[in-house]
Amino acid sequence: MRIVFLIVVMLLSPLTQAEPLVIAHRGASGYLPEHTLEAYRMAIEQGADYIEPDLVVTRDNILVARHDIYLSTTTNVAEIYPERKRTLEGREDWFVHDFTLAELRQLRARQPFEGRSTEHDDRYRIPTFSEVLDLIKAVRGDRIIGVYPELKAPGLFQAAGHDVASLLLAELKVHGITSDIFIQCFEAEALRRLDNLTDLPLVMLVMPRSRDNLAEPNIPLAEIAEFADGVGAMKYLLMDKTGQSSGFVQQAKSLGLFVHAWTFRDDQLPPLINSGEEELLLFLKLGIDGFFTDFPDTGVSAVQTFSRAPER
Ligand code: G3P
Ligand code: CA
């Protein structure tokens, strides 16, 4: 059923294209503090097909864009709310669902990656998911921009009384989003539930089962095909250190799953690779359908180079 739906959507969608999708991972996060409207806007300007908000929830039940359930690494929370630190699941930190949206509005975003510019730290706010969707609507001109939300820790939030899957679907409904979207998650249970609630394309995020077995996903692909339309795969699953294909992409496609790979970073290149574009071209040759990158401009350039390659 899911496969039939996906084929129909692909035939109808303006984003339908032979070219792999450039997914702006946390926005243009290689350049600006991640998960800010400014980082998403830059990604769109650089030509990304999709922007990727990771979603967590506030105490007053509003979805906001952050990569983690905690705030210390990507904001100035320690300076604004020093007394609100606590321990959760063994981590001492400030947790998003302890704060109301009004309180989070007082925070400003910071660059969490060492070596990247901190020039824009303490300038930009944490956006709500609703604001991200408004931004997409506002910048949509001739070009359709897709959105690729990830539900972070839905199980933990459920236990704390927040149904983030329902919040996500409600927000999409309010904004009239019915296409040019993928919903992703690391938790199979949340996706199985979503599979019963929506026909929107679902993406199961996977990583290698173990360090000794990088080619095997932590959830079997055949199981994923029961409830998801695609797989968001850590790139090490796809190719070994010598550059040989693991067969992952072919196996996923034989089950009807598309493959989006993560995460490509110009400033974290594998040994013997000289540029972000060079790395991406190796993966594009494997037949991936899209990829998450912190540097959307490099991603766009790599897809253009790939599409011109005569041996494709
Ligand atoms: O969602 C794809 C990729 O972003 C998964 O990794 O940890 O950056 O959300 P993470
Ligand atoms: Ca993500």
Mean pLDDT of the chain: 94
Does any ligand 1 atom lie closer than 6 A to the CB of residue 292?
A: yes
pLDDT tens-digit map of 202-257 = 999 999 999 988 999 999 999 999 999 999 999 999 998 788 999 999 999 999 99
Q: What is the mean pLDDT of residues 264-269?
A: 98
Give the Å distance between the CA of 259 and the centre of ligand 1.
Answer: 14
Query: Does the beta carbon of 262 sit less than 6 angstroms from any atom of ligand 1?
Result: yes
Instruction: Give residue-wise pLDDT tens across range 73-124.
Output: 999 999 999 999 999 999 999 999 999 999 999 999 999 999 999 999 999 9
**Active site members:** 25, 67
Domains of the chain (ranges, CATH numbers): 2-65+126-308 (3.20.20.190)
pLDDT tens for each residue of 168-210? 999 999 999 999 999 999 999 999 999 999 999 999 999 999 9
To test the ligand 1 pocket, which listed residue (23, 205, 237, 294) has its Cβ within 8 A of the most ligand atoms?
205
Residue 4's pLDDT band, with cuts at 50, 70 and 90, is very low
- Ligand 2 centre to CA of 150 (Å) is 6
Q: Which residue's CA is minimally distant from atom 7 of ligand 1?
A: 67
How high is the pLDDT of residue 1? 42
The secondary structure of the chain as a DSSP string is -HHHHHHHHHHH-TT--SSPEEEEETTTTTTS-SSSHHHHHHHHHTT-SEEE-EEEE-TTS-EEE-SSSB-TTTB-HHHH-GGG-EEETTEEE-BGGGS-HHHHTT--B---STTS--TTTTT-PPPBHHHHHHHHHHH-SSS--EE--EE--HHHHHHTT--HHHHHHHHHHHTT--SSB-EEES-HHHHHHHHHH--S-EEEEE-EEETTEEEEESS-HHHHTTT-SEEEEEGGGTB-TTS-B-SHHHHHHHTT-EEEEEEE-TTSPPTT---HHHHHHHHHTTT-SEEEES-HHHHHHHHHHHHH-TT-
Q: How far apart are CA 183 and CA 191, in angstroms?
A: 9
pLDDT at 14: 41
pLDDT higher than threshold 50 for residue 11: no
Which ligand 1 atom sits nearest the alpha carbon of residue 150?
A: 1
Q: Which of 29, 50, 67 to mutate to test the pocket of ligand 1 (most atoms within 8 A of CB)?
A: 67
